[in-house]
Each structure stands twice: as structure tokens, then as C-alpha cells.
Amino acid sequence: MTEAALPAPMAAPPVDRERLAAIGFVLPSFLIIAGVFALPLVLLLGVSIVDASGLTLAHYKRLLGTPYYLWVIWNSLRLGLLTTLIAFVISYPAAFALARARGPLRSLLLATLFLPLAASVIVKAFAWTILLRSDGIVNETLIALGVIEDPIRMIFTESALIVGAVNIFLPFMILPIYAIVAQLDPRYAEAAATLGASPVGTFFRVILPLTLPGIIAGVALVFSLSVSAYVVPTLLIGERYPTLATTIAKAYLLAREPGFGAAAGVVLLAIAIAVVALSARLSREPK
């Protein structure tokens, strides 16, 4: 074969400078996130499955195989579910009222929504203990109105826990729904009515599907925050309602069982990841 018949060597593909620049900008942030978030989680997993004898699943067997700790997990899930459900029932109409308000009224409503976020969770939980105690404002008001004769026990009950949790996490449900509702075009409802849809049919077939992304985001936020809450159950109900968060604190601070506390933390993390993954999947599904 002659030299002229030989194929010409292929030219090297041009370097994508924009892609390299993007990687260069993203890489430091990725390393920081990996070091701050991912590495502690990997260490947490390692502590939960490694002890002096080597690899072990004893901590998970104890956590998932003991009726008491299954009850603790159910308490956490129950707190998250009830808080999320009640917060949604309150937040959905509140988001519409906020979106329909105009001028100073909207500013006032937004201020009442954002100002509580500036206060610490500890401060708000302590405020509820003051309101609900035997000589608190709620009992005194009920006695003054003649509803009750003697103070009733409100603090350190499940009702007090749910009320306090809903109050504290309510803004995290209202804001995502409000962000979607504020962008709704009112002509959608008018068009549905023109086509013969009833108000109920318009809501379930037009309004509700359009606001679903905000609902999913709010539900994921509130459930994740409430299921892992530590301060609120500790101050409002104490030992009567053990949760995964309080169990983790006891394992690390009192019982000196870091392996068991890490296992409980991994289970709590798995619940939060499952909620986020489910919400992301629902958000991607075609409407």
C-alpha cells in the first residue's frame, strides 16, 4: 500500500473550554458540600455498623426488632403525619387568601407570616408552654368565659405537641403553596366555568392540579421538619412521647451508645430521603 493511500490521522476533538470552566467553578462547591454534608453522613453510617468486634447489624436489630423502639418510630411518623395534615388544611385556604389580598393587607399578612420565622424554635416552644400551662392565658380565658370551672391539663399532652408543631412549621407549608397560587391565572377558572364546569369540578380538575407542585413542596418540608423535631417534643410533652430525635439525643448524651444513636439517625435520615425522593417523583410526573 502506498503512502498516499494511508488514511489521514483523525484530529483530536476540540477542548470544550466552557465545560472545563464550569467544572472548575462547580468543583470547589461540590467538595465543600461533600465535606460538610456527605462525609458526616458516611461517618454516621460507619458508626452504626461498626463496633469493637467489627461489622455488625446489632444496633439495627435492636432498633427495628424491639416493640418499644417500633413505637418510637411510629410516634415520629405520627407526629409528622398529623402536623403535615393539619398544616395543609390550614395553609391551603390561607395561601389563596394571601394571594388575593392587595395593598397594606397583603403586607400585613406577609409580615405575620415571616416575623415568626425570625424567632427561635426554642422561644416559640417555650411560648406555648406559657400559654398552655394551668395558669396560662388559655386556661384563664376559658375560666373567664365560663367554659370550664377549674384549669385543665393542656401542657405535656399530645394535643399540645401537635398544636405547637403546627404553629411552628405552618409557614413552611404556606409559602410554597402561596408561591404557586400567586402565579395562577384567574382566567383558567373562568374558562372552566364557561365550558360548564361546576365550582367543585373547577377546583378538583383545574385549580388543585395546578397548585400540586406547591402542595408537594410544602408537604415534603413540613413532614421532614416535624418528623425529625427534637426541641418541640422535648419542651411540649417530654418523656411521654419519645421520638427518634429524642432517642438519638439520649443515646449520645445519656446512655453513651453512639452506635445505637447512629443507627436511629440513619433510620431517620432514610425516612427524610424517602419523603424527598417521593416528592421529587410526584413533581416530575406528567399532570
- Cell numbers at residue 94, please? 390561607
pLDDT digits (tens, 9 = 90+) for 80-109: 999 999 999 999 999 999 988 888 888 888
Tell me, what's the pLDDT at 128?
Answer: 87
Query: Is the pTM higher than 0.95?
Result: no
pLDDT digits (tens, 9 = 90+) for 162-221: 999 999 999 999 999 999 999 888 888 888 888 888 888 888 888 888 999 999 999 999
Distances from the Cα of 181 to the Cα of 165, 213, 269, angstroms: 24, 10, 31
- Burial of residue 7 (number of CB atoms within 10 Å: 0-12, 13-18, 19+): exposed
Tell me, what's the pLDDT at 43?
Answer: 87
Say which CATH superfamily domain 58-284 falls into. MetI-like (1.10.3720.10)
Q: Where are the domains of the chain?
A: 18-56, 58-284
